[in-house]
Chain A
């Protein structure tokens, strides 16, 4: 399987990464090298093998739905690029 230019562009869009048009080729090349490496997986018969997501086969531990943290909005917003009146500011979304 080999990625075309347009596929690299659409992956970049899904990943929310801006890629300069001049760099698409080199991304395609290095991604194709990696895909070539991982394609050896396809030779193995894994029919009926249960996928392993957690190495200990553990399932998600749940906790009681209780408030355990104080509201520290101001403290956490100190690291934000742009806030106003306790809100995170981003470019206009709705006209």
Chain B
């Protein structure tokens, strides 16, 4: 049962092959015995899951089931879940029982999906390895000595290790796509504004976007059908019609125009990843696509622009953690200033403090124009490069990451080295475009991902491309365990 895709599980429930309670129990049992190895979950919500599974079975017997009714999934521990600890991987929120439910998890609850638990992540989603979590790192199911990527590393590892058929993630600079690539699964970051950010703990508000992490593109379409949609509670949510993301999965790719940016194949790219990426592109050519060389000249500048904009937004977003209304508070503060500064020093980990400091500096008087404004100007130039490229091609393809998953601890003393690994994913968030990673090869025994970047609100095309590729290849079906 637990080897099946979301689509297969949905049909199995529909045909009565198994019940949601049976399915949920199978996952909970598997998590109980296996997750010690991976540490993909921070919190397993067994009681809630069984209650939801019973309700789902009842709903199905009454003939009111949706596609995902009774299907168990996991949520990144960044989505507020009422009555359940929502830690965001931080000591600051270790004791935080969310008093309300995020829009994304509300939608899954309404669809009748079952919540298996909350998955591990880099603290406040700041990181590319899940090592900065207060609860300790998640291990990559393909090699326990390696990182699963991040920040949605727990979700990626859970799906790769059959500890959930699908999971939610969030992506601020690659946090869905990069762990999807590292763990051999499919992940899509939708267009900025497509999925509500309400109740999703904020990191970089103009970059953050929730999305699905699954075994297949078809499953991602099923998940996105639930997640996407206008939400008046999110002031940057986009009021635009949401298509059925499964509707175009089977369209042929004949005539599809693929752009290959030369900047995505330059120095720093592992040659075996370049090879795997180009082999995937060849596959698309064989399926009728046309390939064109393009240029995204400011690709390298996306790193400095991102590492100003994201920390600047983080420093303001995280100012709310002051020890007053919720979360950690230091003991015996002597005055208000002492309470704020000790609470925050104790509650935040190293990387979070580093980003708050950089962001505070970039926004401080006298430096705002040189850093924040400059980064936002570059952001426009980066967006303009994409707009120009996407007027000539339908999608852009390249590697998701320059290297396969690295060894746990390898980047520990060099945060800047880790920032450089985000080179191919950051610009997509800066521009607000949708981006997807699908498995396309194996390097050093580790899976690697093909990134497909589309035009605004064109998630259907990305999922169509992913599905067609997965019908012709079996990289997505290869298993870590």
- A37: B residues at CB distance < 8 A: 303-304, 307, 416, 419
- How many residues belonging to A are interface residues under a CB distance threshold of 8 Å? 50
Contacts A37-B419, A38-B371, A50-B380; A82 near B329 (Cβ below 8 A) = yes
Indicate if A6 sits at the interface (CB-CB under 8 A): no
- A3: B residues at CB distance < 8 A: 361
Chain B 452-470 near chain A by CB (<8 Å), digits 1 or 0: 0000100000000000000
Indicate if B333 sits at the interface (CB-CB under 8 A): yes
Partner of B344, one of A11, A17, A42: A17
Q: Which residue of A lies closest to B341 (CB)?
A: A18
Contacts A18-B342, A41-B301, A90-B324; A54 near B357 (Cβ below 8 A) = no
Residues 407-425 of B at the A interface (beta carbon under 8 Å):
415-416, 419
A76 CA to B301 CA, complexed, in Å: 43
Partner of A44, one of B301, B307, B337, B358: B301
A33 CA to B304 CA, complexed, in Å: 12
Residues 38-65 of A at the B interface (beta carbon under 8 Å):
38-42, 44, 46, 49-56, 58, 60-61, 63
- A56: B residues at CB distance < 8 A: 192-193, 238, 432, 456
- A11: B residues at CB distance < 8 A: 357, 360-361, 364
* Pair A55/B432 contact, Cβ less than 8 Å: yes
Q: Which residue of B lies closest to A80 (CB)?
A: B325
Indicate if B160 sits at the interface (CB-CB under 8 A): no
Q: Which residue of A lies closest to B420 (CB)?
A: A37
Partner of A19, one of B305, B345, B456: B345
- A16: B residues at CB distance < 8 A: 319, 322, 337, 340-341, 344
- How many residues belonging to B are interface residues under a CB distance threshold of 8 Å? 71
Partner of B206, one of A14, A38, A39, A54: A54
Interface window among B6-14, B32-40, B107-115, B348-356: B348-356
A38 to chain B, nearest CB (A): 4
Q: Which residue of A lies closest to B237 (CB)?
A: A61
* Pair A34/B324 contact, Cβ less than 8 Å: no
A85 to chain B, nearest CB (A): 16
Q: Which residue of B lies closest to A75 (CB)?
A: B99
A35 CA to B339 CA, complexed, in Å: 29
Partner of A93, one of B325, B336, B360, B371: B336
Indicate if A71 sits at the interface (CB-CB under 8 A): no
Contacts A16-B322, A46-B381, A56-B192; A91 near B357 (Cβ below 8 A) = no
- Most A CB atoms within 10 A — which of B207, B319, B323? B323
Contacts A11-B360, A16-B344, A44-B301; A34 near B307 (Cβ below 8 A) = yes
A58 CA to B379 CA, complexed, in Å: 15
A59 to chain B, nearest CB (A): 10
Indicate if A92 sits at the interface (CB-CB under 8 A): yes
Indicate if B383 sits at the interface (CB-CB under 8 A): yes
Residues 353-392 of B at the A interface (beta carbon under 8 Å):
353-354, 356-358, 360-361, 364, 370-371, 373-381, 383
Partner of A55, one of B192, B304, B415: B192
Partner of A90, one of B336, B371, B431: B336
- B357: A residues at CB distance < 8 A: 8, 11-12, 15, 17, 27, 31
A39 CA to B374 CA, complexed, in Å: 10
- A46: B residues at CB distance < 8 A: 374, 377-378, 381
Q: Which residue of B lies closest to A16 (CB)?
A: B340
Q: Which residue of A lies closest to B335 (CB)?
A: A91
Q: Which residue of B lies closest to A26 (CB)?
A: B350
B309 to chain A, nearest CB (A): 9
Indicate if B338 sits at the interface (CB-CB under 8 A): yes
Indicate if B481 sits at the interface (CB-CB under 8 A): no
A3 CA to B364 CA, complexed, in Å: 14
Q: Which residue of A lies closest to B98 (CB)?
A: A79
Indicate if B393 sits at the interface (CB-CB under 8 A): no
- A13: B residues at CB distance < 8 A: 341
Chain A 69-95 near chain B by CB (<8 Å), digits 1 or 0: 000100110111110000010111100
- B374: A residues at CB distance < 8 A: 41-42, 46
Indicate if A30 sits at the interface (CB-CB under 8 A): yes
Q: Which residue of B lies closest to A51 (CB)?
A: B376
Partner of B97, one of A44, A55, A79, A81: A79
Known A33-B415, A93-B335; further 10 A-B contacts with Cβ < 8 A? A8-B357, A38-B307, A41-B371, A55-B207, A55-B430, A55-B431, A61-B236, A80-B325, A91-B339, A92-B335
9 contacts between A and B (CB under 8 A): A16-B341, A31-B358, A34-B416, A46-B378, A56-B192, A56-B456, A58-B238, A60-B235, A76-B325
Residues on B lying within 8 angstroms of A by beta carbon are 96-97, 99, 192-193, 206-207, 232, 235-236, 238, 298, 300-301, 303-305, 307-308, 315, 319, 322-329, 333-342, 344-345, 348, 353-354, 356-358, 360-361, 364, 370-371, 373-381, 383, 415-416, 419, 429-433, 456
Q: Which 9 A-B pairs have the closest CB atoms?
A: A55-B432, A51-B376, A46-B377, A18-B341, A52-B380, A81-B329, A38-B304, A79-B326, A18-B345
